[in-house]
Structure 1
Amino acid sequence: MKKTLSLAVIAVTSAMALSTSAMAGDAANGEKIFKKKCKTCHVVEAGKKPKATGPNLAGFLTRPSGTSDYKHSKKLAAAGITWDEENLDQWLKNPKKMVKGTRMTFKLKKEKDRQDVIAYLMTIGS
């Protein structure tokens, strides 16, 4: 019994470590990708007015989706998503699939690019 329990604990711990490292990206590279592909529509500086095409992302981790001072789609506001690495990956991969009716159409197709941008977004704070 103790051996089975110990093996289960090791398996769960190993799986958690693998999932964490799988999402680990390069924040410095993510900032470069963000500036090249995302900054056209988004700003990340606290207190800065959002662009007409996308919200200011400063503080997005601490608020439900669709609740910033940007005119979000009703569908995104109703989704009430609390952003984390997993759902950000899903969002950046295909936002229209995640929330039908969202205004965001841009996709980051490469997994590595998504991981890097997510790592950068996790550093911007509020």
Structure 2
Amino acid sequence: MTRIVIIVASVLPTTVLAQSSQPPALQGDPSRGEVLYQGCMDCHSIDKDDVGPRHRGVVGRRAGSIAGYDYSKALKNSGLTWDEATLDRWLIDPSALVPGTKMFYEVEKPQDRADLIAYLKQQK
């Protein structure tokens, strides 16, 4: 009986540790995201295409799909749809997600990405 308790006790911490090794999803603050978005406005706008395409309605939109905008061939053919997970990966390193893209700007901090994405989700 003692042996079983020892085995169970030695397995349980491993299971708990494995479950806690994944970071919890960050809650984004759209108000802070709006402030951070000011840094994106060198190339993007919510409502107008500029150096980069407009962002209104970006969440849920197929990548490279705004008619008339000159996307890279790589992004047009990526098959991506912009959701929270894809936008997060994109903002970490656009060139790693879609080699050959024109986008080069990266957002290093996970909370900044979560806040930006929360703001973009509101721009329907």
Which TM class, normalised by the smaller chain length? Answer: 0.7 to 0.9
The offset of 1:63, in angstroms, is 2.6
State whether residues 23 and 85 of structure 1, in contact with CA within 8 Å, keep that contact through their aligned partners in structure 2: no
Residue in structure 1 matching 2:40, options 35, 38, 41 = 38
TM-score (ref. length: structure 2):
0.76
TM-score (ref. length: structure 1):
0.75
Identity of aligned residues (%): 39
Q: Partner of 1:117 in structure 2?
A: 116
> Which 5+ residue runs of structure 1 have no aligned equivalent?
1-14
Residue in structure 2 matching 1:26, options 26, 29, 32 = 29
Paired residue type of 2:62:
P
| Residues in 2 aligned to 1:54 and 1:63: alpha-carbon distance in whole angstroms | 15
> Which 5+ residue runs of structure 2 have no aligned equivalent?
1-18
State whether residues 44 and 57 of structure 1, in contact with CA within 8 Å, keep that contact through their aligned partners in structure 2: yes
Give the number of aligned pairs.
Answer: 103
Note the aligned Cα RMSD (angstroms): 1.8
State whether residues 59 and 84 of structure 2, in contact with CA within 8 Å, keep that contact through their aligned partners in structure 1: no
